[in-house]
Amino acid sequence: MSDGPLIVQSDKTLLLDIDHVLSDECRRAIASFAELEKSPEHIHTYRLTPLGLWNARAAGHDAEQVIDVLLKYSRYAVPHSLLVDIAETMSRYGRLRLEAHPVHGLILVSNDPAVLKEVTRGKKIAPMLGSQLDNETIVVHPGQRGFLKQALLKLGWPAEDFAGYVDGEHHDISLKQDGWQIRKYQELAAEGFWHGGSGVVVLPCGAGKTIVGAAAMAHAKATTLILVTNTVAARQWREELIKRTDLNPDDIGEYSGAKKEIRPVTIATYQVMTTRKKGVYAHLDLFDAIDWGLIIYDEVHLLPAPIFRFTADIQSRRRLGLTATLVREDGMEGEVFSLIGPKRFDVPWKEIEAQGYIAPADCVEVRITLTDAERLNYATAEQEDRYRFCATSQTKKDVAIALAKQHANDQVLVIGQYLDQLDQLSAELGVPVIKGQTPVKERERLFALFRSGEIKCLVVSKVANFSIDLPEATIAIQVSGTFGSRQEEAQRLGRILRPKADGRGARFYSLVARDTIDQDFAQNRQRFLAEQGYAYRIIDADEILNKN
């Protein structure tokens, strides 16, 4: 027995004592292969999953390194059965390989004939395969590369893809060298992606994922299709590429509801790509419009299901996914792994903060006691309406207004889910509101006024969760959210993490109604941020209301 911070258990859970002097060091060490499940005050629970271990393997960590970490930090003897299971699970990645063949095109190869025999008997896999060339090699039908990887992952045999990529149509792209310098971690992220061929780069909000995308484009020097969450994000990508690369404005096209430009670099929204007319995806031919050398998926954790299906068809193109979190509430992380690629680069948020590239953040959960009348309304509401009742209470609105007024000299974002609640907050604070129906030009105008400081406070719906660059925002007040979404919590904190010109930190308030489902959702929402080292301190709403 040692005095380590970690308790490793045979059910594949890891219990981290966060009060231990080595807890931060241990958290960083296990983050590459373990997923956070629960994060109360003193003991955080992580779990070892096959996908987490395969991502670690794809990133270059072998079973011996994972086991060494567990042995180093474990307080008690690590169960031998668990060590064996880790080694066997990680050894599954790469036992099957997809390779190019000069005659047969695409082949599935394994040095273990029994594994090849096992998977080829699968009912979903057999139709994707052609003739068997020998005990270790079988032909794969053209166009089945992505679908086969999906199916193999579900069987527990993730294939490593060595089949290569087409270069695509050449288009010279270089990073500008004047006036700025790419950060070391951005350079490493782009190189990690390029050497891996395809995959995902995970970086905190505000850490410059767009620049990683630009650096990947400079590696590819080819026509590039960039898929983004919305039109505002598309225009921010365009501005950033013009600023950071030698691309001319005429080289970059926007493919959205408003415009249909196809250029050597084309930026398209997920919404337009998933639009259907008479049951048919009307813009699917964009994937074939140019011989793309690179496809970039911004906010890859948000990919709509149809985009996964399209991506399965274009496995010969290099694919880069960019995200702050690989967490998906729909459990489709496996689709990202098999179709975009494994995680190629990941760095803890606190590490980037320590380097001064994102602002330090103070996370505060404000516990609100509902009035007797509000509690009665909540108790008698239908189950599906309860979250809305407690999330949009008058008491919560009063606290949000009090907080916004206390921070009148800061750049404040008030963020919520329910539009009527946001309209009321906007009216009572006398500040603009940005929501889905706000025209793009008006959104851009208001964001510009906020960036310049002419507007000190904005009320925003979930349209501002993603890809919105508001560097001077220092305060976020979250009044309601998409139930227990961890990815949304991470994105909302990310809105205020851009480093400030004067070096100030950021503060993220999450308003939570006590003794309601709001409290349960809050605990789940905070899990991802706890994994990144952000601890929520809890204060009572009376502390805020009594200041006014």
What are the pLDDT digits (tens) for 58-96?
Answer: 888 999 999 999 999 999 999 999 999 999 999 999 899
Edge-to-edge order in the sheet of strand 34-38: 6-8, 13-17, 43-48, 34-38
* Band of residue 226 on the pLDDT scale cut at 50, 70, 90: very high
pLDDT recorded at residue 548: 61
pLDDT recorded at residue 224: 96
- Domains along the chain with CATH numbers: 6-92 (no CATH), 96-162 (3.30.780), 184-347 (3.40.50.300), 355-545 (3.40.50.300)
Taking 90 as the threshold, does the pLDDT of residue 225 lie above it?
yes
Residue 207: how many other CB atoms lie within 10 Å? 26
pLDDT recorded at residue 8: 95
DSSP readout, 280-293?
Answer: EETTTTHHHHS--S
Taking 70 as the threshold, does the pLDDT of residue 205 lie above it?
yes
Average pLDDT over residues 352-361: 86
- Helix ranges (DSSP H) in 59-110: 63-73, 80-92
pLDDT recorded at residue 73: 96
What are the pLDDT digits (tens) for 449-488?
Answer: 988 889 999 999 877 665 566 767 889 898 987 766 777 7
The H helix count followed by the E strand count for the chain is 23, 25
